[in-house]
Structures are given as C-alpha cells and as structure tokens.
Amino acid sequence: MIVLAESNFVIELALEQEEAAHAQRMVELAEAHQIALVIPACAFTEPYQTSARRRKERSALVSLLQKDLRQLARSKSFTELLRTSNEVEQIWPRARERKQEDWTIPFRG
C-alpha cells in the first residue's frame, strides 16, 4: 500500500504535536516495509516557511516584551519585575533551540 504524506505529517513529527504518535507509527510501518511512505518535496517547504515565520514572530514579541519590561522596571513599584521576568524570557531561546533540533526527522528505511 502506498501512503502519501503531506506537510501536516512533517509538522506533526518534527514538532511533536498532537498526532505525532500516529505519524511515527506510519514511519514504523514504512520501516517494516508494510507500507510505502511517500513524502513529496513540497511537503517540506510549507513547514519550513511556517517555522521561519513563527521564529520571526517570537523574536519580535521577545524584543517588544524586553523593551516594555525595561520601561516598567524604571518605576520603583516594578523593579522586582525585571528580575523575575528573566526566567520567562529564557523560555523563547530554549524553545527556539528545541525547535531547530526537532527539524531532523530520522528515517531508517
């Protein structure tokens, strides 16, 4: 049986989204030669573009938040805010690193 996968399949696997387990099962079936899994090249372009767009949006959001937090921290009542916000700010760089690692999909067939 030939199974044609599309961009959602790639996104699910790469970003470990809700249906990743089902997509992984399809990969396993292909590795066991129980199905022929076909992923056209165009199925990789949309996820890549989506990832790049989200990365750019997150970067703009982080910059905006940092700028706003610095302004707020100038007020005595918000000086503690800048210190505690550092933990929150570290979420995005970690997420970016994680997402870049995720775009490697191991196929062993």
pLDDT in tens, 29-54: 999 999 999 999 999 888 888 878 88
HEC secondary structure over 42-100: HHHHHHHHHHHHHHHHHHHHHHHHHHHHHHHHCCHHHHHHHHHHHHHHCHHHHHHHHHH
pLDDT of residue 107: 52
Helix axes 7-15, 91-102, angle to 10 degrees: 130
pTM of the model: 0.58
pLDDT of residue 100: 55
